[in-house]
Amino acid sequence: MMVNAREREKSWIVTAASYRGFMTDPLLPAAAVNTSVRDAYAARASEYSILLGSIAATSPVDQHLIREWSSNLHGRVIDAGCGPGHWTAFLHDLDVDVEGIDPVRPFIDQAASRFPGVPFRVASFNDLDAPETQAAGILAWYSLIHQHPAELPETLAGLARSLAPHGSLLLGFFTGETSESFPHAVTTAYYWPIAEMTNALVGAGFSVDETHTRTDPGSRPHAAISARIADNTASVIEGCRGHLPRWRMEEGTSGGRRPGTLLECNT
């Protein structure tokens, strides 16, 4: 039986009773929360891949946006949090030099089997923070939606360090009037207002190029932001001559932390 994209998305909406089984305790330390998210997705990887793991299950609007974004990149691209790998394969078919990474091994195993010839590996956002992995672009398509708001600024700063000077980030997420949690089918996720996500990106060293929003009937509001390494950040990275800059993290206005002054270039 054929299932259209909207029906697929609705079928992944959780009931209150099943949601409690996947709820992440917001008081857990970040490492424990990350492990909880990874394990929750691993338990439902096959189900997720069947329902949402194909380009046919995605919006043509998103396909156009990602295609246009990638056409302006020159160099290696990382699909960070690639899940079952369909967006990685989409980019690969466009002749983009792309690699998909995800901390959920069942996702990577499925992706490697479904899309032979497309490079995938088990890795997390933290594994991007190394000079040899600096990329022309990073696609983070709904892969930060489970990030606690207090941890997001530092994660974005890590993505900035992982990009080459003037490298580009395309971020997809759920938007709302306030930054608050909601019962995602797998584990706790968060809405982010466009303005707050923009501020977080700027604080991490990005300059925002474009913002996009859409709301499909019966679905949560979607948003996307494309941003690139700001000129002042790019000059710092270039000054480090291939090594990663290390910043003094300062308290941000939203309770998280953001990059402040440059401390040194890691060797």
Q: Which tens digit of pLDDT belongs to each residue from 165-197?
A: 889 999 999 898 888 777 776 667 888 999 999
Cα 259 to Cα 174: distance, rounded to the nearest angstrom: 24
Of all residues in the chain, the percent with pLDDT exceeding 90 is 39
- Of these ranges, 28-37, 111-120, 131-140, 239-248, the one predicted with the greatest mean pLDDT is 111-120
* CA atoms of 183 and 20, how far apart (whole Å): 9
Beta-strand pair 181-182/98-102: unpaired
| pLDDT of res. 12 | 38
Using pLDDT thresholds of 50, 70 and 90, give the confidence band for residue 227: very high
CA distance 215 to 220: 7
Listed by start position, the domains of the chain span: 39-235
Q: Please compute the mean of the pLDDT values over residues 204-210 and round it to a whole number.
A: 92
pLDDT one-digit tens code per residue, 100-117: 999 889 999 999 999 999
- pLDDT over threshold 60, residue 25: no
Q: What's the pLDDT at 210?
A: 95
Torsion angle of alpha carbons 66, 71, 77, 80, nearest 10°? -10
Distance CA(92)–CA(85), nearest Å, equals 10
Looking at domain 39-235, its CATH class is: alpha beta
Question: Beta partners for 31?
Answer: none
Judge contact between 52 and 9, C-beta under 8 A.
Answer: yes
